[in-house]
Structure 1
Amino acid sequence: MCIIFFKFDPRPASKNAYRLILAANRDEVYNRPSKAADFWGTSSEILSGLDLECGREGGSWLGISKRGKLGAITNYMEGRVNPDAQGRGFLVSNYLMDKDVDSYSYLKKVSAESHLYNGFNLITAEFKAKQDIVCYYGNRGSPEPIHLKSGIYGLSNSLLDTPWKKLLQGKRHFTSVVNDQSLSCDGLVQELLTVLNNEELNAPDPTQESQGNGISKPLLQAQSAVCVRTPNYGTRTNTIILIDAEGNVTFTERNMSNCGDTGKWSTNSFQFKLQV
C-alpha cells in the first residue's frame, strides 16, 4: 500500500514555480529489506530506492532519472492476491532504465502484459526541454493508458483519484500547501512531510472497505490514514520530488532508521539538474 499526491504544471507561470510537486508514502512490512534512495544504473543516472526482497531484487516504487524520466507505482488493494505473480516494482525500474521508450508507449506495452501482475497503478512521466508528459495506467481499470492534463492528483490503492476518505483528506491538505506561494523550497518540503505523516484515521470508509473485502477490519481501519501505523506494517518512507521551471530537481527521502521504530528516522536530500 502507498499514497501519492502530485501537482503537474508543464508550463509554470514563473521561474519560481514548479513543473512537478510530488509527495509520496511507501507503506510496507517493516522488515522487508530495501536500499535507501541513491544513484544507480548506467552512468549512475537513476535515483531511487530499491527492493532487496528475495526474488524482487532491483524493483522500485518511485524514481527519477537525470534524463527526465519518472516512474511511480502503487498496489491496488485486493483481498486475494496471486503469490506467484511477477514483481510489480520491476515496472518502475525497467521504465527508468529504458532509454528508447516514451512514457505512453511503455504503458501500452505494460497493459498488454498486465495479467501477469497483481493489481497496480503505474505513473510514467518525461520532463524534457520542449515538453513534459505524465501518463497513467491501472490494470484494474480502463484497458488503455491515459495522458494526464495539468492539475492536482491523488493516487492510493484504488484507481487514480478514487474518492477514498484518506485520499480526499490528504489531497485537500496537499493542495493548500502547494498553493502557498510564500513557502521556500525547504519550507515546501517540510510542509509536504507534514501532509504525509498525518496519522488521523478516516474510518469508517465504505468505499475503501468495499474494495478491501477479505482484509481484516483492524487493518482496513489502520489503512484509512494517510500515514499507516500497525505493529509490523506501515509507512516507512516519505519522498518529496520537486522539479522547477529550469529543470532543477530536489529529491528528499525520509526513511525509518530501524525496523518498526517510528521514533527513529533518517533524511537524505539530492539536488541535480535534468540533462535534457
Structure 2
Amino acid sequence: MCIAVFVWQSHPLYPFLLFLNRDEYHNRATEPLRWWEDGETVGGRDLAGGGTWLGCTRHGRIAFLTNFKETSSFPDAKSRGDLPLRYLQSRKSPTEFAEEIQEEVSMYNGFNLVVAHVLSKSMVYITNRPRHGDKDKLVTQVSPGIHVLSNDSLDSPWPKYLRLREGFKRLLSNNEGGEFPVKAMVEEVMTDTVKDQEPELPHVFTPETEYQISSIFVDLLIPAGRFGTRSISALSIKTHGEVCFYERHLEQGDSWKEHTEHFVIPNRSIV
C-alpha cells in the first residue's frame, strides 16, 4: 500500500522534501512523470481514473494522496485521484480547498490527502476516515517536522512507518542540513522489503495479505493480478525555489526507468 515520508518547514535547505511509493496493480493504465497539457503542472497520471497521486505546479502548489486501508469499498464512488488534480488546478489556498470539499468527502472511498502551497507556507491534511469517527477532524493543519503518511491516519505508528521515518531521519542527520542524498534514500530505504511479523500487523486484511504488504516496497501476486510498488518519487523544493521532481517507475516487462524534471518557482524566495 502507498507510503510517503516528508519534511515540512523544518530543514535549513529544503522547506519541502518528499519521498513516495505508489502501490497499484501492475496492469492499471498509468502515465509516468511528465508536464501536463496546461504547461503548469508536473506529475504522473492514473489513466484509468484520470487523476493523480502526486503533483506539483510551477507556482509551488503540491498535492499527494494515499488510499485508506479498509475491507470494503463503494464501486460507484468518485475517483480519489481527482482530488489532488482539482487542488493543483485551483486558485484556492489549502485551507479554502479543504473547506470546499468537506461536504462531498462521503462520495469517495477512504482517502488521505495532503495539499500545500510552499509560498504561503501552508499545508493541510484531509481525510474522510478521521480517528474515532470525529467529524471535526476531517482537516488538520500539518505542523513543521517529519511526517509519514501510509494507509491509516497521518503519522499512525505502524512498523513500516517507523522504519521509513528512521531511515529518512538517519540520512537527514548524516548530511547535517546539506544536500540530501536522493538516490541513497531510494536505493536503501524506499526499496526496503523487510516485512512485519504477525503480532505487529494491523489485522485489517487476511494475515497473509497483511504480511505481504507490510514492507515499504511491495511486490505480490494475488488473484486479481500482480500488485505492488509501481513508482518511487522524490520531490524536493529548496529555499531559493529550485524544484527537483524525480521518478523511478516500472514499465512493461519489469524494467525500471528514471526521469527527472527541474524548474524554479519564479520571482521570489520561499523562505
Asked if TM exceeds 0.5, the reply is yes
Distance 1:134 1:274 in 2: 17
After superposition, where does 1:1-276 map in structure 2 within 5 Å? 1-9=1-9, 12-13=11-12, 17-42=13-38, 44-53=39-48, 56-57=49-50, 59-98=51-90, 100-128=91-119, 131-141=120-130, 142-143=134-135, 144-181=138-175, 185=179, 188-193=181-186, 194-206=188-200, 208-209=202-203, 212=204, 215-231=205-221, 232-258=226-252, 261=254, 264-275=255-266
Q: State the AA in 2 paired with 1:40.
A: W
Asked if the contact 2:148–2:155 (Cα under 8 Å) also holds between the matched residues in 1, the reply is yes
Asked if the contact 2:190–2:216 (Cα under 8 Å) also holds between the matched residues in 1, the reply is yes
Return the TM-score normalized by structure 2: 0.90
Distance 2:177 2:61 in 1: 26
Asked if the contact 2:190–2:232 (Cα under 8 Å) also holds between the matched residues in 1, the reply is yes
Return the TM-score normalized by structure 1: 0.88
Cα distance, 1:219 vs structure 2: 1.5
Asked if the contact 2:198–2:207 (Cα under 8 Å) also holds between the matched residues in 1, the reply is no
Structure 2 unaligned regions, length at least 5 = none
Give 3-state SS (helix, strand or coil) of 2:15's partner: strand
Cα distance, 1:230 vs structure 2: 0.2
Give 3-state SS (helix, strand or coil) of 1:230's partner: strand
Cα distance, 1:111 vs structure 2: 2.1
Distance 2:79 2:22 in 1: 16
Asked if the contact 2:23–2:230 (Cα under 8 Å) also holds between the matched residues in 1, the reply is yes
Asked if the contact 1:41–1:97 (Cα under 8 Å) also holds between the matched residues in 2, the reply is no
Cα distance, 1:9 vs structure 2: 1.6
Identity %: 28
Asked if the contact 1:164–1:205 (Cα under 8 Å) also holds between the matched residues in 2, the reply is no
Q: How many residues align?
A: 257
Once the two structures are superposed, what CA deviation does each residue of 1:23-58 show, in whole Å capped at 9, x if it has no partner? Answer: 00000000100100111142x1100100111xx12x
Instruction: Give 4+ residue runs of structure 1 displaced > 6 Å after superposition.
Output: none
Cα distance, 1:137 vs structure 2: 1.2
Give 3-state SS (helix, strand or coil) of 1:179's partner: helix
Cα distance, 1:175 vs structure 2: 1.1
Asked if the contact 1:121–1:136 (Cα under 8 Å) also holds between the matched residues in 2, the reply is yes
Once the two structures are superposed, what CA deviation does each residue of 1:48-79 show, in whole Å capped at 9, x if it has no partner? Answer: 100111xx12x000010001100000000001
Cα distance, 1:169 vs structure 2: 1.0
**CA-based RMSD:** 1.7
